[in-house]
């Protein structure tokens, strides 16, 4: 099992945020913001009015 420090996880989270912030495509919801201040990191995306990707894939 890989032993990863909390600092490494925070750095990886920030790197992924930077990558996702640069991704722009008409079929992707936009990343509006994030928070990594508390115990639970949080991502904020634009509202998707027609349900989630899971809903679309399940034809709901």
What's the pLDDT band for 2 if we cut at 50, 70, 90? low
Mean of the per-residue pLDDT values of the chain = 84
pTM for this one?
0.62
pLDDT of 3-58, one tens digit each? 668 888 888 889 989 998 898 888 888 889 999 888 888 889 888 888 877 888 88
Q: How confident is the model at residue 60 (pLDDT cuts 50, 70, 90)?
A: low
**Facing residues of 42 across strands?**
35
DSSP state of 11: H
pLDDT at position 58 is: 87
Domains and CATH numbers, the chain: 6-57 (3.30.200.20)
């Amino acid at each position: 099992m890989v032993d990863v420090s909390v600092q490494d996880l925070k750095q990886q989270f920030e790197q992924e945020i930077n990558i996702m912030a640069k991704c722009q495509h008409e079929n992707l919801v936009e990343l509006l913001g994030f928070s990594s201040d508390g115990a639970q990191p949080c991502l904020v995306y634009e509202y998707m009015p027609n349900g989630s990707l899971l809903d679309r894939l399940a034809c709901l």
